Amino acid sequence: MKKHKSLHETNIKPKTDRLSTEKQLQLLQTIIDNSLDIIQVFQSVRDQNNKIVDFIWIMNNKGGVAQNGDVIGSSLLSKNPGVIPSGIFDKMVSVVETGEPVQHEQYYHYEQFEGWFYQALVKSDDGLVMTSRDISKQKKAEQGMREQSHFINSITEMMPDVVSVVEFPSRNILYANRDTLTWIGFEVDEIQKMPFKDRIKLFHPEDISAIQEFYERFHTLKDREENKVEYRIKDNNEQWVIISLRGQVFARDKNNNPSQLLFVAQNITAQKNAEKEILSLKDEIAEHAEDKYRTLFNSIDEGFLIHEMVRDEEDRAVNFRLMEVNPAFTRQTGLGNDTVGKLATEFLPNLEKSWIDTYDRVARSGVAERVENYNQATQRWYNVHVSRVGHGNRQVAVLFDDITERKESERILQENQFQLKDLLKQRSEFIVVASHELKTPVTSIKAYAEIVQERLEEIGNLEDSVLLGKLNEQIDRLTILINNLLDITKIEQGKMPIHFEYLALDTILEERIQEIQRTTNHKIELIIEQPLQVKGDKQRIEQVITNLLSNSVKYSPKESLITVESNTGENDVTISIADEGYGIPEKDLDKVFDKFFRVTTNNMDTFPGMGLGLYLAAQIVLEHGGRIWVESIEGKGSVFYFTLPLIN
């Protein structure tokens, strides 16, 4: 009987283990199916020399099925051959062979895909796990912010306060105006690059919870509703600076959750120190420390007064009486010293009840408050700090500052933001309409001019024929300008078409150089290591090469040398165009690819152009998944570089 039972138990145990394994696999599949990312598991395929030549899918979550279909058991290269020219295949092989995980951002424009992706690759047995996430919208948002930053800078530089835009909920700074945070001795770029986990170390430990609560409130904050907090932050001299921070929701994501916040910050250290000094004198006032109190009381720039609350029979606050005022009170309100001893409603008959309620609340609770409020009688905005005087529940001390100009600046800034959006939309629509309307007559003028030039040559009138030739050159410039404006509008609207095909880049370079060489006495030299095969839009790549070569011709002396050279890397080719021209100042190197930017030193602003060619070249290269940059020494020349992915 015992032997039968033991045998029975032995037979059951493997079944139990098998069921447990199946449940574990089901649990794993359920977990990855609920991931917001695309998770795929691959097994490597090796040849007889043990070299990895392909991968096959062995597991896929729902996101992967939605993207690729049912591919379990399928070859990666048969389904997604673009992983080779994009460099993804090499990264996968490296992870399997070395065991080192890889995280990277990848621009992928093969098969049905077109956009930026974040990928994480981790080795698993003789294969790997790939986690992917589409970050195209994030990349476009970053580009949009860069284009808006110049306009925002020009407005915020006029404001005395610090203006910033912060990513939410990561709290990374996306923008800050030029004079920002000089209060604590940091440069703008230094603060912008500092992660929030490092910035938080600068905050006073006692203020951390208030800051966290301030950020939490944005989850429920309505548009244009204001959020406030005060906190202390340590400067470079290890001294505490007191900041007043007000914020609004600046942008929301597709789920209507806050994604960006607009902040306006003030350094209120001096004001707080004055408040602290005045309030510390309250006990001394009771002890008749009159001289010191009066000196400070009369010398501060902020208005200061003491109120005594007036309540009815049911102990409800209905008014207040002015007990003391300083000279700044008169300067900021226009009210005289004769208000002392009077009820507020005697000289402010239409006083807003919110003032009475605030003063009474502080008088009863003893908890100081800071408010910003509008007073109809003086038609001014005030930033007011209210604290209780003594241990009773009737008197409050009020320290205030006139912030009307700041409020007006904020209103103008907000109006400008709305106007800017409308103007940008109107500008794009106008450029499209105007450019299309200009193209037809310009084309006709070009045709007529060429006919007239041919006839003049036929009858031997060479002098007038030369003049017509110059007219044709100007018509060509006008045509390029119109096309550039149309291209910019397409880029801004995200509608610039890119038609990818396999191209011989070396042939395109030779053709473009021959075309431009006919129009200039510069010597253009081409150095190519080997035939260059890339995938791209032929017309757009020709446009990039033409724009860069024309730029070198324009800004370098006649008969000087321009060198075009290729340098083939593992996954891409780098094209360089070097000239012996005037060079670009170091301070302008990071601006040359900005829209409408032109270098103005060395009389370079006298050359024709609108600053569009390099901007368009940069956008086209980025659309192809490449990079573009410039190196230059002023007075010696410049070298422009751009890269394009190779076809292996």
Find, among 374, 149, 403, the residue nearest to 266 by Cα.
Answer: 403
**What pLDDT band is residue 8 in, cutting at 50, 70 and 90?**
very low
> In this model, does residue 13 exceed pLDDT 50?
no
> In this model, does residue 345 exceed pLDDT 90?
no
Interatomic CA distance for residues 525 and 510, integer angstroms = 10
- pLDDT mean over 94-107: 91
Comparing 419 with 412, the larger pLDDT belongs to 412
* Residue 89: predicted pLDDT: 94
> In this model, does residue 525 exceed pLDDT 80?
yes
* Residue 381: predicted pLDDT: 87
The mean predicted confidence, pLDDT, of the chain is: 80
* Residue 563: predicted pLDDT: 95
* Residue 15: predicted pLDDT: 45
Residue carrying the six token digits 């062995």: 58
Comparing 603 with 339, the larger pLDDT belongs to 339
**What pLDDT band is residue 574 in, cutting at 50, 70 and 90?**
very high
Beta-bridged to residue 565, according to DSSP, are 527, 576
- pLDDT mean over 133-138: 86
- pLDDT mean over 571-598: 88
H helices of 217-324, where? 269-280, 282-286, 290-299
Quote the crossing angle between the two packed helices 136-156 and 404-458, to the nearest 10°: 110
Among 70-84, 349-363, 449-463, name the one with the lowest average pLDDT: 449-463
Query: Which among 74-83, 333-342, 436-445 has the top mean pLDDT?
Result: 74-83
Task: Tell how far CA 468 is from the center of its chain.
Answer: 48
CB atoms closer than 10 angstroms to residue 642: 25
Among 73-77, 115-119, 474-478, 517-521, name the one with the lowest average pLDDT: 474-478
* Residue 2: predicted pLDDT: 43
End-to-end CA distance of the chain: 71
- pLDDT mean over 397-424: 80
> In this model, does residue 573 exceed pLDDT 70?
yes
* Residue 143: predicted pLDDT: 76
**What pLDDT band is residue 485 in, cutting at 50, 70 and 90?**
low
- pLDDT mean over 519-536: 89
* Residue 9: predicted pLDDT: 43
> In this model, does residue 570 exceed pLDDT 60?
yes
Cβ-Cβ contacts under 8 Å for 328 (sequence gap 6 or more): 300, 301, 302, 303, 304
> In this model, does residue 453 exceed pLDDT 80?
no
Torsion angles phi and psi, residue 57, rounded to 5: -70, 135
Q: What is the pTM of this model?
A: 0.36
**What pLDDT band is residue 477 in, cutting at 50, 70 and 90?**
low
> In this model, does residue 430 exceed pLDDT 60?
no
Phi-psi label, residue 224: left if phi above 0, alpha if psi -120 to 50, beta otherwise:
left
> In this model, does residue 429 exceed pLDDT 60?
no
Please tell me whether residue 275 adopts helix, strand or coil conformation.
helix
> In this model, does residue 585 exceed pLDDT 70?
yes
- pLDDT mean over 154-181: 72
* Residue 623: predicted pLDDT: 87
Q: What percent of the chain has pLDDT over 70?
A: 78
